[in-house]
């Protein structure tokens, strides 16, 4: 007797090829008509047509989804979800003409969230993150990455990473942790970026690695923030300590950040609004994934990343929310899928693959999540409608009827069609 049998689905398995999908591979949704999933102990034990599964298994619980679309839970591979306070005043300033970097240079932006995070207790950060976990589940995200980067000193960076660890331990959430001590230059090191880079390398990184507080390291490589050589020093030191590398590259200006993939084994280069041919070549050589964040371009009113050029170059593409209180305040992967399709000219199938299986590869979790395959976790979503197309098509509303994490229904408020 197995735990759960889901039947009657328009099932999009996004089956795992054993590597992140490129080019034409992005379009294969691994569709099974009238499909089903057999689950035992939170793990998928069989995937097949419903009639075959019904014949084969007795289950404690059988859920007939009555022709609804079922997909892997979304994987959000780039968020800054551990924050305190919000920045709606800066949103207005940007609409009135100030740029994102001008606001940061004047001590706002990341630095205003920093103030709130430093003032917060770890319990406050945990509470905020838990609230966001519920929203992620509500919008169909079952695994996400979250970064530090709003502490920018030893104590506050560690506090953010500890908050992620605690939420991972105490809820059904699955959060992949990234250390981004080099997210901005704190006031104490103004005019001494190299001094701050030393602090990150000598003080923060060794502690993060020794205490397993992060799997990834990231740097905001940008004009006026951390330059290419400073980013290289940090990422190289982190790799030597056993962390995996990713980077905020070519978001606002092209200063050669994605080209670091020529010199370092980058798992992903993220943003890429201003990607150059050389950057594309570097990523290709490194086998890096391009994690695109169309919500950020949309929110900053910048031209979108050139997803078509990146896909045609055979680089695997993932998409993410970039969820943060400044440049992209959303927990909704369905919104990001709509923007990927309507703003970046990705086909709906490509956007779904980028939000599931390729996103899982982008955070080193494809062995467990990102597709509906035997032996992976039973992380899946049931839509209100019969087709995946409703995700980009019926925008501005939540298409997710139910979210399952490790075979269990998550608690979430939407359930409009319940
Ligand atoms: O990915 N660019 C740097 N970091 C974030 C924004 C963080 C913030 O504004 O709070 C980004 O856009
Ligand atoms: Fe970001």
What's the mean pLDDT in 356-381? 98
Number of domains the chain contains: 2
- Closest atom, ligand 1, to C-alpha of 104: 9
Q: How far apart are CA 335 and CA 333, in angstroms?
A: 5
Q: Whose CA is nearest to atom 3 of ligand 1?
A: 220
Q: Could you tell me the pLDDT band of residue 417, with boundaries at 50, 70 and 90?
A: very low
E-strand ranges in 214-342 read 216-219, 244-249, 266-271, 289-292, 317-319
- Predicted pLDDT of residue 414: 43
Does 60 share its domain with 133? no
Residue 158 lies in domain: 75-362
Question: Where are the extended beta strands (E) located within 199-287?
Answer: 216-219, 244-249, 266-271
Confidence of residue 412 (pLDDT cuts 50, 70, 90): low
Which of 248, 268, 295, 321 for mutating ligand 1's site (highest number of atoms within 8 Å of CB)? Answer: 248
Quote the pLDDT of residue 411.
73
Closest CA to 321 of 306, 303, 339: 339
Does one domain contain both 183 and 262? Answer: yes
295 lines ligand 1 (CB under 6 A): no
Residue nearest ligand 1's atom 11 by CA = 327
Ligand 2 centroid to residue 178 C-alpha, Å:
11
Q: Which atom of ligand 1 is nearest to the CA of 184?
A: 3
Domain match, 107 and 34 both: no
Which of 327, 328, 329, 336 for a ligand 1 pocket mutation test, highest count of atoms within 8 Å of Cβ? 327
Contacts (Cβ under 8 Å, ≥6 apart) of 368: 360, 376, 377
Residue with token string 């992949």: 176
Ligand nearest to the CA of 220: 1
Per-residue pLDDT tens digits for 69-86: 999 999 999 999 999 999
Give the pair of three-digit tokens for residue 254.
């092209």
How many C-beta atoms lie closer than 10 Å to residue 6's C-beta? 29
**Closest C-alpha to ligand 1, atom 1:** 322
Ligand 2 centroid–CA 300 distance in Å is 13
Same domain membership, residue 133 and residue 61: no
Residue 113, ligand 1, Cβ within 6 A: yes
List the CATH number of the domain containing 22: 2.30.40.10
What is residue 155's predicted lDDT score, i.e. its pLDDT?
A: 98
314 and 239 in a single domain? The answer is yes
Element (H, E) at 51: helix 50-56
The CATH number linked to 103 is 3.20.20.140
Query: Is ligand 1 within 6 A of the CB of residue 57?
Result: no
Phi, psi of 227 (to 5 degrees): -80, 180
Q: Of 322, 340, 362, which residue sits at a domain end?
A: 362
* One domain for residues 42 and 88: no
The pLDDT of residue 316? 98
User: What is the model's pTM?
Assistant: 0.97
Residue 377 in 3-state DSSP? strand
Same domain, 398 and 270: no
What is the per-residue pLDDT across 177-196, written as a single tens digit (0 to 9) for each? 999 999 999 999 999 999 99
Check whether residue 283 and residue 239 sit in a common domain.
yes
- Please tell me the predicted confidence (pLDDT) of residue 167: 97
């Amino acid at each position: 007797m197995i735990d759960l049998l889901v039947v009657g689905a328009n099932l999009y398995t996004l089956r795992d090829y054993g590597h992140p999908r490129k080019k034409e591979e992005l379009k294969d949704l691994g569709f099974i008509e009238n499909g089903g999933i057999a689950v035992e102990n939170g793990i998928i034990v069989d995937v097949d047509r419903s009639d075959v599964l019904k014949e084969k298994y007795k289950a404690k619980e059988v859920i007939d989804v009555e022709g609804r679309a079922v997909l892997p839970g979304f994987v959000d591979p780039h968020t800054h979800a551990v924050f305190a306070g919000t920045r709606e005043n800066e949103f207005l300033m940007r609409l009135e003409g100030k740029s994102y970097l001008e606001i940061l240079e004047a001590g706002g932006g990341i630095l205003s969230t920093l103030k709130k995070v430093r003032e917060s207790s770890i319990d406050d950060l945990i509470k905020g993150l838990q609230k966001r976990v519920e929203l992620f589940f509500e919008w169909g995200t079952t695994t996400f990455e979250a970064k530090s980067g709003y502490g920018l000193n030893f104590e506050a960076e560690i506090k953010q990473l500890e908050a992620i660890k605690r939420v991972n331990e105490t809820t059904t959430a699955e959060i992949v942790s990234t250390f981004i001590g080099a997210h901005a230059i704190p006031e104490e090191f103004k005019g001494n970026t190299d001094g701050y880079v030393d602090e990150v390398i000598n003080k923060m990184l060794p502690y993060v690695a020794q205490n397993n507080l992060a799997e990834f390291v990231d740097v905001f490589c940008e004009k006026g923030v951390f330059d290419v050589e400073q980013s290289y020093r940090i990422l190289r030191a982190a790799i030597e300590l056993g962390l995996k590398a990713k980077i905020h590259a070519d978001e606002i200006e092209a200063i050669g950040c994605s080209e670091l993939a020529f010199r370092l084994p980058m798992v992903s280069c993220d943003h890429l609004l201003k990607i150059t041919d050389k950057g594309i070549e570097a990523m290709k050589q490194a086998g890096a994934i391009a994690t695109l964040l169309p919500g950020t371009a949309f929110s900053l009113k910048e031209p979108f990343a050139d997803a078509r050029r990146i896909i045609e170059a055979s680089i695997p593409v993932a998409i993410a929310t970039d969820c943060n209180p400044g440049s992209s305040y959303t927990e909704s992967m369905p919104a990001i899928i709509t923007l990927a399709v309507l703003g970046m000219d990705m086909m709906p199938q490509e956007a779904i693959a980028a939000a599931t299986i390729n996103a899982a590869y982008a955070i080193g979790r494809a062995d467990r999540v990102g597709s509906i395959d035997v032996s992976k976790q039973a992380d899946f979503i049931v839509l209100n409608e019969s087709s995946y197309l409703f995700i980009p098509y019926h925008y501005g509303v939540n298409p997710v009827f139910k979210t399952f994490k490790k075979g269990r229904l998550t608690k979430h408020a939407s359930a409009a069609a319940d």
